[in-house]
Amino acid sequence: MSRQSNYDKFPVIAAGSAEECSTGWRAIADRLAPALGSNAALCIECYPGVLTNDLMEQLRAHLPLAAVFSSEDCLKSPQQLHAILDPILGSDRVFARMNGVALEDYFDATLMAHMRSEVARAAQQGFVLIVGTGASLLAPAGAALVYADLARWEIQLRWRRNQIGNLGLQNSGADSATKYKCGFFVEWRAADRLKKRLLPKIDFLLDTNQPQSPKLISGDAFRSALAQTAQRPFRVVPYFDPGPWGGHWMEEVCDLPRDVPNHAWCFDCVPEENSLLLGFGEHRVEVPAINLVFSQPRALLGDAVHARFGTEFPIRFDFLDTMGGGNLSLQVHPLTEYIQEHFGMNYTQDESYYLLDAGPEATVYLGLKEDIDRQAMIDGLHRAQEGREDFPAEKYVNRWPARKHDHFLIPAGTIHCSGSESMVLEISATPYIFTFKLWDWGRLGLDGRPRPIHIDHGVQNIQWDRTTAWVGRELVNRFEPVAEGEGWREERTGLHEREFIETRRHWFTGVVPHDTCGGVNVLNLVEGDEALVESPTGAFAPYVVHYAETFIVPAAVGPYTIRPCGRAAGKQCATIKAFVRTGVPAHAAR
């Protein structure tokens, strides 16, 4: 493997001029002061994880304020919050149940009523500032509204640094997995319910990802940027993380620093977790990509996908790098009825492994061997978990040779694992974190602890009839020619009939016609240095993508084309494309 990297780790979406963005606390205060106008109050609603005390102190120093109020003074006590959250979160290290907890449930009604009275009284003396998560619940009518936001990845990094804890729990010293579980299942869901209500009416958006370099844009500029983004191809900001099985392929291809032992993961298209970089001249405003899903669901997803999934982005692309690393955990994903009953999710993680690259010995573990002893396998998993012996995976699970551009389909309930020496583009549905690990090869996580294993969950979901012959016929390299034209050909590559995602691969040296057909498309350039995405009608500016980059084409785009460009001009390229099946026949132009 040797390739000059042109992978863009910080893709920017042109959104406006530099004059529309204020950078630094002094400039932000100067922008907010006249915006107060006749309003007596400035409200800054903060997503959980924003450093609210620092924010308050900075604005207190720069604005002529009669009083400053922290909404978080009205939070229920940690003991009261635990009484609400603990029955939902349970004792498992990873899993809990989706729920309907609202941000309002975090606050003491009596304290809130008292603070509203204090705010009203102080406002008679001059301008007041209300800051914190839930601040908008206290703001008087007519208050100027700022939404202080930050990326979920930055929140996770702050948890790892013990810089912050979960909302109201005073647990900044807890391990990051505990904080992530609470944030994932409760805190983010509650905050997002309020965010959806506020984004259409905020006066300003405040980017707090870099506390010493905050950025402010108007609510109108923010909404305009999202509306523009939903009409053209774009990329989210990827992030990379090490893991116990991680490799080194991404370090070279994606030009990553060698400051961690390896790079195991890349979230290259997970809008629930990734962010967008909005370019205002030379300024970069980073916002969670989920804001786009909340604000422009029909233009982004299309009517049929929106009707089915609401404001969730149902397709996920991520990288799993084991080149020079080890096997992933042996695992299985829950069946639809199981995830609904046990975790409150409406759909499950059907997925596939597309091999971006593979070493000579690369393999994928997939499906069970014929005529295995089910109980002996279960007993063996339990003995391995107890540390009595290693689990003999190859006695029970098929090990398929894996080559570059192979595609392995993995409907929920199929036991699977990517082996070492593989670079996997994982294409899947997005029900978040519901993976049941069965065996982790006797190793520890990067935190020095054994990673959580869920054998009991797993064995209830393994489809024991998915054995060698069936897997070879149904799940391995199901390539089917669909269409061809001058300089291109299209193949259907899956996914399996049980999965709602369809994937198509295009090989091309010329211009390939595509059409979203009213549903969002997600693509990755899996062969070739770079390609150009264009609108036949000039509806959006030509968009360059590079090798291994994942990009999104919103449903509203409709027809578009892709062709080799730059270093790839005249050479063969390939994309893999995913979309939600909505009854479009297999031969229709996609």
What CATH number should be reported for the domain whose range is 480-580?
2.60.120.10
As a whole number, mean pLDDT of residues 90-107 equals 96
User: Looking at residue 3, what is its pLDDT?
Assistant: 62
Instruction: Examine the pLDDT at 586 and tell me if it is beyond 80.
Output: no
Tell me how far CA of residue 423 lies from CA of 248, 483, 525, in angstroms: 9, 28, 14
Asked if 447 and 370 count as a contact pair (C-beta separation under 8 A), the reply is no
Residues facing 331 on adjacent strands: 416, 437
Are residues 436 and 458 in contact, defined by beta-carbon separation less than 8 angstroms? yes
Residue 1 pLDDT exceeds 60:
no
- Taking alpha carbons only, the member of 315, 320, 321 closest to residue 349 is 315
Quick check: 46 and 59 in contact, CB under 8 A? no
Lowest mean pLDDT among 58-72, 399-413, 482-496, 574-588: 574-588
What is the value of pTM for the model shown?
0.96
pLDDT band at residue 433 under the 50/70/90 scheme? confident
Specify the length of the chain in residues. 590
pLDDT digits (tens, 9 = 90+) for 448-471: 889 999 999 999 999 999 999 999
DSSP one-letter code for 323: T
In the chain, helix, strand, coil percent, each to 5? 30, 30, 40
pLDDT band at 585 (very low <50, low <70, confident <90, very high): very low
User: Given the DSSP bridges, would you call strands 530-534 and 559-564 parallel, antiparallel or unpaired?
Assistant: antiparallel
Element counts in the chain: helices (H) and strands (E): 17, 31
Q: Which residue has the tokens 């940690």?
A: 78
3-class state of residue 156 by DSSP? helix
Summary mean pLDDT of the chain:
94
Shortest CA distance to 187 belongs to which of 73, 345, 83, 48? 48
Closest CA to 194 of 338, 320, 47, 62: 47
Q: Is a pLDDT exceeding 90 seen at residue 142?
A: no
Query: Can you tell me the distance from the alpha carbon of 96 to that of 257, in angstroms, rounded to the nearest whole number?
Result: 35
Question: Burial of 54 by CB count in 10 Å (0-12 exposed, 13-18 middle, 19+ buried)?
Answer: middle
- Note the pLDDT tens digit of each residue in 263-276: 999 999 998 899 99
Q: Are 499 and 578 in contact (CB under 8 A)?
A: no
Asked whether the predicted pLDDT for residue 334 surpasses 70, the reply is yes
Is residue 584 over pLDDT 70?
A: no
What is 12-229's CATH number? 3.40.50
In the DSSP assignment, the letter for residue 242 is -
Q: Please give the residue that has the higher pLDDT: either 173 or 124.
A: 173
Helix spans in 7-108 (H) = 25-36, 52-62, 78-89
pLDDT digits 0-9 by tens, 16-53: 999 999 999 999 999 998 877 666 899 999 999 999 99
Q: How many C-beta neighbours within 10 Å does residue 53 have?
A: 12
**H or E segment and range at residue 52:** helix 52-62
Tell me how crowded residue 246 is: count the other CB atoms within 10 A of its CB.
26
Q: Hey, how many other C-beta atoms are within 10 angstroms of the C-beta on 526?
A: 21
pLDDT digits (tens, 9 = 90+) for 542-566: 999 999 999 999 999 999 999 999 9
Residue range(s) of every CATH 2.60.120.10 domain in the chain: 239-268+313-474, 480-580
Buried b (16+ CB within 10 A) or exposed e, 309-335: bebbbbbbbbbbbbbebbbbbbbbbbb
Q: Tell me the C-alpha distance between 148 and 417, whole Å.
A: 40
Question: How far is the CA of 429 from the CAs of 350, 446, 586, in angstroms?
Answer: 6, 27, 20
Cα–Cα–Cα angle for 308, 432, 457, rounded to 5 degrees: 105
Within 8 A by CB and 6+ apart from 572, the residues are 507, 508, 509, 527, 528, 564
Q: How far apart are CA 544 and CA 564, in angstroms?
A: 10
Three-class SS state of 136: helix
- Tokens at residue 331, please? 């695992």
Query: 72-82: b or e for each residue (b if 16 or more CB lie within 10 Å)?
Result: bebbbeeeebe
Q: Please check whether residue 522 is in contact with residue 269, taking contact to mean a CB–CB distance below 8 angstroms.
A: yes
Distance from C-alpha of 339 to C-alpha of 341, rounded to nearest angstrom:
6
For 35-48, give the DSSP string: HHTT-SEEEEEE-B
Taking phi over 0 as left and psi of -120 to 50 as alpha, with beta for the rest, 180 belongs to alpha
What pLDDT does 422 receive? 98
Vertex 136, ends 131 and 142: CA angle to 5°? 105
Class of domain 239-268+313-474: mainly beta
Tokens of 125: 């003396």
Instruction: Provide the H-helix boundaries in 254-302.
Output: 290-295, 297-301
**If you search the block for the tokens 């870099």, which residue do you land on?**
210
Residue 383 is given by DSSP the state H
DSSP 107: B
